[in-house]
Structure 1
Amino acid sequence: MKKTHIALAVSLGIFSLPSSALVGGDARSAGMGGTGVASANYLTAPFYNPALMAQSNDSNDFGLLLPSVSAGVKGTENLQDKIDDFQGANKALENLNLNNPDPEVTKRVVENWKTSLKALDNSGLDAGVGVGFAVAVPNSLIAVNVFSKTDVDSMLRLNIDGKQLDQPLPDADKDESRAVVAAMMVTDVGVSLARNIDVPYINQTISFGFSPKIQKISAYQLNERLASFDNGNFELPTQTTDTTAFNLDLGVSYQPVPEVTAAFSATNLIAQELESPKSNGQTTVVQIEPRLAAGVAYDNGWFLGAVDVDLTEQNSFKTEADGKQYARLGAELNAWGWAQVRAGYAISMTDGYEDLASIGLGFSPFGTLGFDLAAQVADQNEIGVAAEFSLTF
């Protein structure tokens, strides 16, 4: 184990964002419901499907993404207020005068303590932060994209101890309700290569791409009594478990006609697991699971429509019952290559996440400098935002 800067990332991810990790790895995709398997451009293709790099226009010679930034949070409504209410009720229970108790006061304090503790059952928070960079050189021989991406997935879970709830007079010092903060940070550094392969007899091509990459994975956990957990202002220990591994992404795409693309991608083909350091004798196992996805897109120059379907479920934490898996819909209106309006919808295929709606805007004066913004919302407690800058020639 060694020290890293993951503590800062976790504290930003959980406690500084507005209140679902974002669906989609860049702002353009996020505005279109997270679609990208068949609709990403050659600059962001490594995040979704490396084969799409081979489908760039002949006018594209160089691209630079610097950077793409995204963040999202999914949490229990009024979670901080509920934690504060319980901690206040817990202090009142600790200060109860047991030598000469007032029966009415005792009853009121005990009922308030039990009610505030029960209100925290099944409560928690999920947060994600992502930063991506890419340098692309498309060409007809072999398209090349050197990329880097860092993602932080973090969660806060409140594990309620029900033993004291059954006691007529609970002992606050014996309550073992816990607050567990766990986080995984993954940094990918790799190169994507793509090429068009001619299909004999039908005068068409299929695009193939692959991305060998190095992954650095860091895992962290904090396990603390809920009664003393300071969710508004606390210092995280910097001890993490770290490992470095090799991984691989693959992709294929096919255009039966110039306007239509059908695609399939397989990312993180080599599954990874890592156990966090112990905190009060407990650990959390984080994981990277292979992701399979299929998509189709229609693009006539001014209108782009895309559909993606996740074929596998993704879960960063092995202890969590529900992961993320979506069917995604997205659309983009392109005004002469200078401005774009985007919208999308992601339909959750698991019980732990809600459907998401998205909107996005893009500005690309002269078709060279690009600036994109996106926002996603499921309800008032599930929000994501993204922004990116790009330069293409």
Structure 2
Amino acid sequence: MHLPNKKLLLGAAISLATLQAQAVPFMPTDARAMGMGGTGVSSAEVASTVQFNPALLSLTRDDDHFGLKIPQISIVVADDDGFIDEVEDFDEESELDNSGLSNVDLLSNVLDESTGPLGLEKLNQALTDLETAVLPAQYEAAETKLEESVNYLDTRLFSKNPNIDPELVVYSEAVANDLDDLNNKALRMNFGANMALAIPSKKFSLALSAGGQGTFSGRVLVSSDDSDILRRYPDATSKYLTAVANLQSTLKDFNDGVGGVSAQDVADAEEAVSDFAYGGPNRPADEGDTIIFENGDLAEGADDGSLNSQVEMVGVAIADLGLTASRVFNIKGHDIAFGVTPKLQKVTVFDYLYDLDGEDENGNEVEFDGDTITENSEEYTEINVDLGAAYQFGAEKQFQAGLVVKNLLGKEFESPRYVESNGTAGTIVEVSPQVRAGISHKTSWTKVAFDLDLMENDPVAFEDPTQYASIGAELNVWRTLQLRAGYRANLAGSDQDVVTAGLGISPLAVHLDIGLMANASDPEKEAGIALEFGVEF
């Protein structure tokens, strides 16, 4: 038996996964917003307004006449379930001994020694020699070889001390547990890139924007068949060696002329070895659910390392080209800004499922490359629209409220695997309407903002749904240095709150911003960074 290649297991860690009817999150690419907890529906400025609320483009400062953001980039990696830690366990030093080796290495060593020239190879040759022996000396030599191999395997696979578990049992269970711990744990990555050109005005504002947002998730689906083979292999081998030991003892008694031991007894013992089958605890191979031995040999999958576990990957990338128009309308004495962004969207859905043993249906090694992405992706081109409204109030109009509906025209996009399976497997990605409201307060030096998703958003794949409540603050020193901080809570998930911080440098009209975010309880669960460069005057 061969263990799953460690590189395959570790390679699965960087592979990305799905199920049906998923949605795209509301996570604009904006360094200033990331530093302020993700707020922006009432607080975004100039060229950033197109991502959060097109109406804000008409409510910028009186001295804002031009804005350019190129580029804006961001990346967020989330590991809520500890997927990376579980994968690293395969390569970490085992706690079972002081050798410095991992559980996989320890089990591999025991199996290599047990199946090598002194173990099963010698045992199988001894059985062949017994079948072909003609002279008494040949029988004696075969018996000696069989006894040596059984004794060797007995010391490697089974402990003479009933209070100490044998190495094969201990290491098999440890690796099986590591494999089970990896099951169904998801890893998620979001990335974005954007650029925008904006010309704000109270009368009529315009902006042109182009960008893309991608979200990928992945998981390993560990088959119970794979972990069961690891756990049952010691039991199967023990029963097989018991049958071999019985043959050895029967042959010795027969050759020594022990009364009551006949040639038929020897034949029966030989048949028990040649027909030996194991399909699980107290189950014959043809009825069991963990087939390891069949007709005296290791069954397919138990001897060639074939795995039933799979890696599942799903992703959606949306490229937008939008034209934003905004202006202020006086409604019953109140100046209310409205904005609209019609946009051309290119939606790419990626959906891939492959076996962990790294082989395709033709037995060829699976290689993840550009062709893999192309063959398992489907592209769609659609029209969509964002709508926004904003209102300033207070004695000095220091308060500002905003409301936005993004992707008003909800649509569904089917993955290639969903189409090929006639809807029995694969992914449907929904670009659904997203509604967010916000309120902010500003002074010449400060701004504080609060945003709230008014509806729950489905996940892209295996993570929890999202409904964000965010708060952020900015200290603007002479409009040259900006210090930012924020907090974002997911009202639809547990232990997914993040803290954020940001820094802006804006000498003259040039702006350089960086935003950082991390899970509030454990930065390893989620972390992100955003960078942007722009010009505003």
Whether TM-score is above 0.5 comes out as yes
Aligned counterpart for 1:222 among listed residues 343, 352, 364: 352
The CA RMSD measured in Å over matched residues stands at 2.9
- The equivalent residue for 2:362 is none
Aligned counterpart for 1:137 among listed residues 188, 199, 203: 199
Q: 1:121 to 1:45 in 2, by over 3 A?
A: same
- Whichever residue aligns with residue 51 of structure 1, its letter is A
Identity %: 28
Do structure 1's residue 193 and structure 2's residue 325 form an aligned pair?
Answer: yes
Answer with 1 or 2: which has the greater Rg.
2
- The equivalent residue for 2:369 is 235
Aligned 8 A contact 1:25 1:34 in 2: no
Aligned counterpart for 1:251 among listed residues 362, 370, 388: 388
- The equivalent residue for 2:30 is 26
- The equivalent residue for 1:4 is none
Aligned 8 A contact 1:86 1:117 in 2: no
Name whichever of 94-103 and 338-347 sits farther off. 94-103
Q: Distance in 2 between matches of 1:221 and 1:24?
A: 23
Query: Would you say how many aligned residue pairs link Structure 1 and Structure 2?
Result: 370
Q: Distance in 1 between matches of 2:307 and 2:106?
A: 13
After superposition, residues 270-285 of structure 1 pair within 5 angstroms as 270-278=409-417, 283-285=426-428
- The equivalent residue for 1:74 is 78
Aligned 8 A contact 2:325 2:339 in 1: yes
Secondary structure of 2:469's counterpart equals strand
Please list the CA deviations of residues 184-204 of structure 1 after superposition, one character each: whole Å capped at 9, or x if unmatched: 11001111111101122xx33
Alpha-carbon distance, 1:105 to partner: 4.0
Aligned counterpart for 2:343 among listed residues 210, 213, 217: 213
The structure with the largest helix share of the pair is: 2
Q: 1:64 to 1:89 in 2, by over 3 A?
A: farther
Q: 1:49 to 1:93 in 2, by over 3 A?
A: farther
TM-score (norm 1): 0.85
Q: Distance in 1 between matches of 2:103 and 2:200?
A: 57
TM-score (norm 2): 0.64
- Whichever residue aligns with residue 266 of structure 1, its letter is V
Please list the CA deviations of residues 290-333 of structure 1 after superposition, one character each: whole Å capped at 9, or x if unmatched: 1101110001121100000011223353x536222210000000
Secondary structure of 1:132's counterpart equals strand
Do structure 1's residue 184 and structure 2's residue 301 form an aligned pair?
Answer: no
Secondary structure of 1:56's counterpart equals coil
Q: 1:38 to 1:93 in 2, by over 3 A?
A: farther
Q: 1:357 to 1:24 in 2, by over 3 A?
A: farther
After superposition, residues 25-174 of structure 1 pair within 5 angstroms as 25-75=29-79, 76=82, 77-82=84-89, 97=115, 99=120, 102-103=157-158, 104-166=166-228, 168-169=232-233, 173=305
Task: Identify unmatched segments of 5+ residues in structure 2.
Answer: 1-10, 16-24, 92-101, 124-152, 159-165, 234-289, 291-300, 360-366
Aligned 8 A contact 1:341 1:362 in 2: yes
Secondary structure of 1:375's counterpart equals strand
- The equivalent residue for 1:268 is 407
Aligned 8 A contact 2:195 2:211 in 1: yes
Q: Distance in 2 between matches of 1:223 and 1:259?
A: 53
Alpha-carbon distance, 1:262 to partner: 1.1
Q: Distance in 2 between matches of 1:33 and 1:116?
A: 36
Q: Distance in 2 between matches of 1:185 and 1:88?
A: 39
Aligned 8 A contact 1:38 1:296 in 2: yes
- Whichever residue aligns with residue 40 of structure 2, its letter is G
Aligned 8 A contact 1:213 1:246 in 2: yes
Aligned counterpart for 1:344 among listed residues 480, 486, 489: 486
Alpha-carbon distance, 1:88 to partner: 6.0
